[in-house]
Chains A and B, each alone.
Chain A
Amino acid sequence: MTEAGLPPPGLILVLGGLVLPLLRGLGPAIALLLPLLTLAAIWAIPTDLTVTMPFMGQYDLTVLAFNPPTRVFATIFAVMAFAGALFAHPITGIDSERGKRWRVELPAAFVYAGSAICVTFAGDILSLFIFWELMAIGSTTVIWSAGTKEAGRAGYRYALVHFVGGVLLMAGILAKVFALQSAGVADPLALHHYFFGAAGFEGLSLGTGDLAAWLILLGILVNAAAPPLGSWLADAYPEASESGTVFLSAFTTKTAVYVLMLLFAGTQLLVYVGLLMAVYGIVYAILENDMRRILAYSIVNQVGFMVCGIGIGTAMALNGAAAHAFAHIVYKALLLMSAGSVLYMTGKRKCTDLGGLYHSMPITMTCGIIGALAISSFPLTSGFVTKSMINQAAADQHLALAWFTLTAASAGVFLHAGIKFPWFVFFQKDSGLRPPDPPWNMRAAMIFFAAVCILLGVPGLYGPLYSILPFPAAEGETLYAPYTVPHVINQLQLLLFSGLAFFALLPVLKRTLTITLDADWFYRRLFPGAWKHLVRPVVLAFREFFDYLFNQIPQMLKDTVYSPPQETRVFKEWGLGGAMVVITGFLFAYLVLGYIAA
């Protein structure tokens, strides 16, 4: 079925978000309705519907199409936008300090969330790219809206990394489009040409002729936060506001998971990338002192499970990756809401400054612990019925390295996030802090997501989630049965002995006022340092020589050959980032205008 004139559901959030600040006092209430409207639209649209619109005369952009993982990702993105809006609600009115921030942060978060949903509905590579870039603009604005100097700088670094990632992706897409065009393909933008997957990608040589798939993969892996391309995550996310970080945790990496699943399912390289991410996240989280940076590193760890599942590429593995993305968004947002509530009520974010908060923040603590149990995949929580599918797929394919590493990482999750976060924040020592639980809207958002974490893990209640996975079970068959006696007992053994290791090694885990250098050191210290202490002095020393070489000699040559009339410069060079913003803005405006015209 093809129909023109129906907008992709994500645009409700994108456009609605931009109108919110104009609605004054009504804005916060409408902000809660928009995600629900989007969710209803996602479910009301028939799965065989595609909507296209003409683009640049010769192409059609497919702005609405259902791919196998579309529904599960779009659904959780919309639910997340709702819970995030509830958590960010400016209880004290939109003219208070919090309200002023809300007027920037929430519209940006809705543009971000809405374009993430649009990515999941994109039926061609160009509309996917347009919304991919719009996400970067929305998320950067979310970081900046925290209003601190640190957030300003971290947001700037974040934007630069993401625009470089966007350029890699665009370069790969263009290389592929030109290759397809010269091969005489009529629809070079159609997504199916970009399904590199097992056969398409593994068949590639590393030669220059096959750069397209590599560039596209690299561009996506930047957003998936795969090390060493992913240090932006732990650098930028914890600098956002207490509600900004909650939004940020959900969309960028999981959209990357969605796109990887679509384009690179079965690419063996991703098994190893995923394992690296899972272990890297644990090691860095163990060493970290800032509670939100612990949780940021644990995003990388969890996305590693999904990326590994995509690399395995069987129906079980892809279902597992999609289901785990769904569960992960909920429990990670819950953990960051819990941490955000602590930050909001105490103004403190370092484990060394916190402790003993169980005395006065029972709801925040309980919800935080539920999130911690869910991320650790405890039986009766969402993680138990989702992550285990990926482990099962590794076992089914006899991938020993993958299985033993994933199992180790599952134990490590409990260690670095499941116990470490609640222990150091709510127990550990009595810091003397006695803040009450946060305001009602923050409590409500936490209780909502805590309930989802538990309900999804209850036997019999995870069925609806399983039914919207990319490869649903055939009539009368079971997709996956998580609740068997060995699985429950083995999981408890793994986790509780991991807990024993935590408490046995507690003296070693004692928090210190330190950070651990990551790949962002290269662009925060090495490159600026090299410029300041090496390149610049050399350039200055050789200035006369260079002036002669690059200015005077060419000038002499020019004068001898040709004397042009005096010209004034009418254009100014643009930085890559600025140019990308403008181009994305144009493409988006074109899309909206094109839709209105259609």
Chain B
Amino acid sequence: MSLEDPQTIRKLWIVSLVVLALLVLADFWVMKDPHHHAHFGIDGSFGFYSWYGFGVCAVMVLVSKFVVGLILKRKDTFYDD
């Protein structure tokens, strides 16, 4: 089994997506836990950490690449003489 094999990559994707789905569903259990409490309202809602984690990362990647990168990116020989 090689990690470069498309078959392996496909299997890894399936396993990962199942794990992610189970993690979202785990919120049913978490929300009944005595330690569960929201500090700001929305952070206690169902699935918050899942969509927030995905959302902010997507935003950070896109902003880095297409806003900051567009303005400040240079060839890596920029400072060479």
A residues whose Cβ falls under 8 Å from a Cβ of B: 279, 282-283, 286-287, 289-290, 350, 356, 358, 395-396, 398, 400, 403-404, 407-408, 411-412, 415, 427, 429-430, 484-487, 489-502, 504-505, 508-509, 512-518, 524-525
Known: A400-B40, A430-B4, A484-B35. A411 touches B53 (CB 8 A): yes
Bound-complex Cα distance A494 to B24 (A)? 10
Bound-complex Cα distance A277 to B40 (A)? 23
Bound-complex Cα distance A404 to B58 (A)? 15
B40 engages A403 (CB within 8 Å): yes
A497 engages B20 (CB within 8 Å): yes
B69 engages A287 (CB within 8 Å): yes
Residue of A nearest to B51 (CB): A497
Residue of A nearest to B47 (CB): A493
Bound-complex Cα distance A163 to B40 (A)? 44
Q: Which of A290, A412, A517 sits near B60, CB closer than 8 Å? A: A412
A486 engages B19 (CB within 8 Å): no
A514 engages B75 (CB within 8 Å): yes
B57 engages A502 (CB within 8 Å): yes
B60 engages A494 (CB within 8 Å): no
B54 engages A287 (CB within 8 Å): no
Residue of B nearest to A396 (CB): B39
Bound-complex Cα distance A500 to B26 (A)? 17
Smallest CB–CB gap between A391 and chain B, Å? 10
Bound-complex Cα distance A94 to B27 (A)? 58
**Chain B window 49-81, contacts with chain A (Cβ cutoff 8 Å), 1 for yes, 0 for no:** 111111011101111110011001111101100
Residue of A nearest to B40 (CB): A400
B57 engages A493 (CB within 8 Å): no
**Residues from chain B with Cβ under 8 Å of A290 in the complex:** 76
B53 engages A493 (CB within 8 Å): yes
**Residues from chain A with Cβ under 8 Å of B33 in the complex:** 484-486
Residue of B nearest to A487 (CB): B35
A515 engages B74 (CB within 8 Å): yes
Contacts beyond the supplied A408-B52, A408-B60: 9 A-B pairs with Cβ under 8 Å: A287-B68, A485-B33, A485-B36, A493-B49, A497-B57, A500-B20, A508-B65, A514-B74, A516-B69
Bound-complex Cα distance A430 to B4 (A)? 8
Smallest CB–CB gap between A431 and chain B, Å? 12
Smallest CB–CB gap between B78 and chain A, Å? 6
A498 engages B72 (CB within 8 Å): no
Number of interface residues of B (CB under 8 A): 41
Interface pairs (13), CB distance under 8 Å: A286-B64, A358-B3, A427-B3, A429-B4, A489-B27, A491-B49, A494-B53, A499-B16, A501-B54, A514-B76, A515-B73, A515-B74, A515-B79
A287 engages B64 (CB within 8 Å): yes
Smallest CB–CB gap between B19 and chain A, Å? 7
**Residues from chain A with Cβ under 8 Å of B63 in the complex:** 283
B72 engages A493 (CB within 8 Å): no
B residues whose Cβ falls under 8 Å from a Cβ of A: 3-4, 16, 19-20, 23-24, 26-27, 29-30, 33, 35-36, 39-40, 43, 49-54, 56-58, 60-65, 68-69, 72-76, 78-79
Smallest CB–CB gap between A436 and chain B, Å? 19
**Residues from chain B with Cβ under 8 Å of A282 in the complex:** 60, 64
Known: A286-B60, A411-B56. A496 touches B79 (CB 8 A): no
In the complex, the 3 A-B pairs of residues with the closest C-beta atoms, listed nearest first: A501-B57, A497-B53, A493-B49
**Residues from chain A with Cβ under 8 Å of B27 in the complex:** 489, 493
B23 engages A516 (CB within 8 Å): no
Smallest CB–CB gap between A501 and chain B, Å? 4
**Residues from chain B with Cβ under 8 Å of A404 in the complex:** 40
A505 engages B58 (CB within 8 Å): yes
B73 engages A498 (CB within 8 Å): no
A496 engages B23 (CB within 8 Å): yes
Residue of B nearest to A405 (CB): B56
B65 engages A497 (CB within 8 Å): no
A515 engages B58 (CB within 8 Å): no
**Residues from chain A with Cβ under 8 Å of B51 in the complex:** 497
A283 engages B64 (CB within 8 Å): yes
**Residues from chain A with Cβ under 8 Å of B40 in the complex:** 395, 398, 400, 403-404
Q: Which of A489, A518, A524 sits near B26, CB closer than 8 Å? A: A489
Bound-complex Cα distance A574 to B69 (A)? 41
Q: Which of B30, B61, B64, B69 sits near A486, CB closer than 8 Å? A: B30
Bound-complex Cα distance A494 to B60 (A)? 14
**Residues from chain B with Cβ under 8 Å of A512 in the complex:** 73
Residue of B nearest to A407 (CB): B52
**Residues from chain B with Cβ under 8 Å of A514 in the complex:** 69, 73-76
Bound-complex Cα distance A17 to B39 (A)? 50
**Residues from chain A with Cβ under 8 Å of B53 in the complex:** 411, 493-498, 501
Smallest CB–CB gap between B60 and chain A, Å? 5
Residue of B nearest to A429 (CB): B4
Smallest CB–CB gap between A14 and chain B, Å? 34
Bound-complex Cα distance A427 to B29 (A)? 35
A395 engages B54 (CB within 8 Å): no
Residue of A nearest to B13 (CB): A503
**Residues from chain B with Cβ under 8 Å of A407 in the complex:** 43, 52, 56
Smallest CB–CB gap between A353 and chain B, Å? 12
Residue of B nearest to A502 (CB): B57
